[in-house]
Amino acid sequence: MDARTSLLAGGALLAFAGNSILCRGALAGAHADPATFTLVRLASGAAVLAAVARARGRTPPPSRSSLARAVALFAYAALFSWAYVRVPAGPGALVLFAAVQLTMLAAATRAGVGPRGAQWAGLALALGGLATLTLPGATAPDPWGLVAMAGAGAAWGAYSLRGRDAGDPTSATARAFLGALPLAVVVAGIGWQAGTLRCDATGLALALASGAVFSGLGYVVWYAVLPRLPTTTAAIVQLAVPILAAVAATLLLGEPPTLRLAVAGAAVLAGIAIATWTKARPPRPS
């Protein structure tokens, strides 16, 4: 990767890690319920993205082809929120991005551009580093939370793959957020009828920041850089997000730093370096 691509990718990964911290802080602290957090996150993201698209003269019109991306985005955002009620930030990020890897690498392998020798070694080293965040000796996370987070990761992987050829990233992401918003309204309406909605000022602020900045603008940066990355590289560099989330949790949520975190971080960064510096496999002849 060139310097500009690396800088943009790094900024996007920081935004992804920030979403884990904001969501966990809002939901674990009972500042908001999952349905309200998801609705505010998608609504604020849609508003900011639509404004940016209009300012650039690229108003996002309705598109039937973007329906699948909107559904995938909603599935990711909703499952992500429900999972973080049950699982801590570190294990949640681990499961989320492990599922992302499986989804994106499966697509790359199917297209004949999957990992090869040294890339598999780098991927194995990075995954091994991630595993040290929760194994061994960690309390097993809630199984339903893990299932929800795995579903969020699969949805995110599908959304990422579809985003590669979606055209202008700002307009495409704005269309996806706008398309996902009615689904969030329906789910929030069900929660309102059941009397489960809640959101205080802190929860609202965290959800607005998650949607407008860390999601909306962060996704624009990610999808601007995504076409410059081979599918395998795009999948592997996201393995840095759980490490970033764990470090942020230490700094912002008061979780004490540990030797295990340092070892995990070193292994993940080394694995990413090996995998991304290895020349990608050329596409399979058709």
Average pLDDT of every residue of the chain: 81
Q: What is the model's pLDDT at position 141? A: 63
Asked whether residue 286 carries a pLDDT value surpassing 50, the answer given is no
- Average pLDDT over every residue of 88-100: 79
Cis upstream peptide for 136 (omega within 30°) = yes
Asked whether residue 26 carries a pLDDT value surpassing 70, the answer given is yes
Asked whether residue 190 carries a pLDDT value surpassing 60, the answer given is yes
Report the C-alpha gap between 98 and 203 in whole angstroms: 28
Q: Is the CB of residue 196 less than 8 Å from the CB of residue 30? A: no
Tens-place pLDDT, residues 266-279: 887 788 777 766 65
**Cβ atoms within 10 Å of 175's Cβ, excluding its own:** 27
Per-residue tokens: 274 = 């090996």
- Average pLDDT over every residue of 197-221: 92
Per-residue tokens: 61 = 């019109």
Tens-place pLDDT, residues 139-161: 556 778 888 998 999 998 888 77
Residue of 167, 210, 217, 183 lying closest to 66 (CA atoms): 167
Q: Is the CB of residue 216 less than 8 Å from the CB of residue 177? A: yes
Instruction: Please give the share of the chain, as a percent, with pLDDT higher than 70.
Output: 83
